[in-house]
Amino acid sequence: MVMQEVFEKLQSLQEVLSKKFEVQNDIAEIPKVLATKTELLNRMKKTFVDKSQEHRTKTQFVDELRKKSIEAEAAREKFEGQMDQIQTQREYEALDKEIKDSGEREQDLRRDLQKEEQLLGEMKVGLEKEEAMIHKQEEEVAKEQAKIKEALHDREKQLKSLEKKEKAITPGLDEEILFKFERIIRSKLGLGIVPIDHGVCNGCHMILTVQFVNEVRRGEGIMFCPYCSRILFYQDESEGELEMEEAAEEAQEEAEEGEDDEEAEESDEVEE
């Protein structure tokens, strides 16, 4: 297979692999949206369970207060019913004190009961709101599950189609080159093969030496950018531009040789 065919295959493969890796990433990322909603739902349910337990505990406490309030009321009425049986002043004073004490206790219990019943009612309203929110979240999770199932099914179909195209392109390509090429595309934002444009790598935009550009131009083998590791292919330029680049390279080499000669002469003069 001539190098031009290899480059054309790699460019076609690049398009397929870029899309394939994008689809694979979608398959990995799409379920994460559901995971977030599910985690929120689980937290809401846990909070609801904890608050439901608090509500049950509060209900038991209110029932106990109500029982004590009824007992205090019964005690007061009992003492009041004994007033008709009083015969002495001392008995009157003692019974009157019992009536007052039981009355105060009854009032305290009634106030506490009223306060706790109000709190219990607020807790119940809060639980009802949270339960409604949980039902709403459950509906959202169910809808999201359906959407994700459909999206994943669509991505799986795309992936199979892309893998089929990939298998149609890869025959004849070196396996080691394919391995490197796939790794480059994964790490270089979908670009694994790029042209040289006016002596510059179109991937990392670094300037390449004329000698290196000429090697790529000859197309005798796969050449990798020394800076970004992408595969390079030569993009035709005008002959004039190429000659100017070669002339500049030769001028630079001649200048460097001239500097070396001058340094050698100065060294000889110093020795004399």
Q: What is the pLDDT along the chain (272 residues), one digit of tens a residue?
A: 578 888 899 999 999 999 999 999 999 999 988 888 899 999 999 999 999 999 999 999 999 999 999 999 998 888 888 888 888 888 888 888 988 988 999 999 999 999 999 999 999 999 999 999 999 999 999 999 999 999 999 999 999 999 999 999 999 898 999 999 999 998 887 889 999 999 999 999 999 999 999 999 998 889 999 999 999 998 775 444 444 455 445 555 655 665 555 555 555 544 44
Tally of CB atoms within 10 A around 152 = 14
H/E/C letters for each residue in the chain? CCHHHHHHHHHHHHHHHHHHHHHHHHHHHHHHHHHHHHHHHHHHHHHHHHHHHHHHHHHHHHHHHHHHHHHHHHHHHHHHHCHHHCCCHHHHHHHHHHHHHHHHHHHHHHHHHHHHHHHHHHHHHHHHHHHHHHHHHHHHHHHHHHHHHHHHHHHHHHHHHHHHHHHHHCCCCCHHHHHHHHHHHHHCCCCCEEEEECCEECCCCCECCHHHHHHHHHCCCCEECCCCCCEEEECCCCHHHHHHHHHHHHHHHHHHHHHHHHHHHHHHHHHC
What's the confidence (pLDDT) of residue 81?
86
Tell me how many degrees the CA angle 191-216-235 measures, rounded to the nearest 5: 65
What's the confidence (pLDDT) of residue 84?
83
What's the confidence (pLDDT) of residue 154?
96
What's the confidence (pLDDT) of residue 47?
96
Rounded to whole angstroms, the Cα distance separating 195 from 232 reads 6
Rounded to whole angstroms, the Cα distance separating 128 from 139 reads 17
What's the confidence (pLDDT) of residue 258?
55
What's the confidence (pLDDT) of residue 211?
94
0.85 surpassed by pTM: no
Could you give all domains of the chain from N- to C-terminal order, each with its CATH number? Answer: 19-169 (1.10.287.1490), 176-271 (1.10.287.1490)
CA 177 to chain centre: 33
Q: Which residues pair with 232 in a beta bridge?
A: 194, 223
